[in-house]
Each structure stands twice: as structure tokens, then as C-alpha cells.
Structure 1
Amino acid sequence: MANRRDLKKDINYVLGDIIEEVYVRGLENPDKDSKKGEAIIDEAIATFDDLMERVNKRGIENASKHFKQIRTDLEDKGNALLEKVNKL
């Protein structure tokens, strides 16, 4: 169970930090369009919901492989979102 708990924390921290960074950039540059930032936040929330749903799925045959794939997806999606934040 520690694996599942740690994975949930990682998802929360990574996506929460991305959302926080969007807000910080919005405060630093109030003259820029906030629609792009809102879209990134919406995408981060959708990613959070998707990953948490997958983490909480029961009846997995190969749990190790399942959680490893979720970690890989978190890293990929997190990096993609950070690239979008950096372009703001």
C-alpha cells in the first residue's frame, strides 16, 4: 500500500506545483493573457483526475507494471505541462 500512497502524493505534488507556477507567472505578468494559463490549469486538473482514477483502480493483475506506467505517464504529462508553462 505504501506504493499507492506515495504515488498519490507524487501526483498531488507535481501537478500542484505546476498549477502554483502558473499562478505565480500570472501574478508576475498581469498584462499577459490569462487564457493560456487557465487552459494549462484545466489540463493539469484533468490529468490529476485521470491519474488518480487509475491509481485507485482495483483488481489489477500486475500491480507493479500498472503503477510503473502511471509514474511514467505522470512524468511525461508533467514535463509537457512544464513546457507549456515555460512558454507563457
Structure 2
Amino acid sequence: MANKRNLKKDINYVLGDIIEEVYIWEESNPDKDKKAGEEIIDEAINSFDTLMTRVSDRSIENPAQHFKSIREDLEKTAKSLAEKVNSL
């Protein structure tokens, strides 16, 4: 159970930090187009929803492998989103 709770917290913190970075970028660059930032935020929210749904799935056979794959997907998603934020 603790593993599931920690994973949910990690998902929330990581994707929340990415969204916060987009907001900071938008505030520090008011003259730039915000559409790209909004797309990153939408992608982060969609990823959050998808990952949380996977964490809450109770029909898994191997919990350790299931949570490991979710962590790997979180890392890939976070890296991809961070690269997009850095390219703004």
C-alpha cells in the first residue's frame, strides 16, 4: 500500500512541478505566445489522469512489475515534458 501511495505522490509532484514551470515561463515572458505552454499543461494533465488510472487499477497480476512500469512511464513522460518546457 505504501508503494502505491508514494507512487501517487511522485506523479502528483513531478507533473505539478512541470506545470508550475510552464506558469513561471508564461509570467516571465508575457510577450510570447502561450499556446505552446498550454499544450504542455494539457499533456501533463492527460498524463496525470492516465497514470493515476493505471495506479488505481486493481486487476493486476504482478503489482511490483506493474508499479515499476508506471514509474518508468512517469520518468519518460516527465523527461519529454521537461524538454518541451526548456525549448519554450
Tell me how far 1:7 sits from its aligned partner. 0.1
Q: Distance in 2 between matches of 1:60 and 1:44?
A: 25
| TM-score for the superposition, normalised by structure 2 | 0.99
Q: Which letter does structure 1 place at the counterpart of 2:51?
A: L
Q: State the aligned residue count.
A: 88
Q: What's 2:26 paired with?
A: 26
- RMSD of aligned residue pairs (Cα, Å): 0.3
Tell me how far 1:55 sits from its aligned partner. 0.0
Q: Distance in 2 between matches of 1:16 and 1:59?
A: 27
Unaligned 5+ runs, structure 2: none
Q: Distance in 1 between matches of 2:31 and 2:74?
A: 31
Tell me how far 1:59 sits from its aligned partner. 2.1
Q: Distance in 2 between matches of 1:80 and 1:59?
A: 29
Q: Distance in 2 between matches of 1:5 and 1:61?
A: 19
What is the percentage of aligned positions where both structures have the same residue? Answer: 67
Give a deviation string over 1:39-64, Cα, whole Å, max 9, x none: 00000000000000000000211000
| TM-score for the superposition, normalised by structure 1 | 0.99
Residue 45, structure 1, aligned to residue 45, structure 2: yes
Tell me how far 1:31 sits from its aligned partner. 0.5
Q: Which letter does structure 1 place at the counterpart of 2:7?
A: L
Give a deviation string over 1:13-59, Cα, whole Å, max 9, x none: 00000000000000000000000000000000000000000000002
Unaligned 5+ runs, structure 1: none
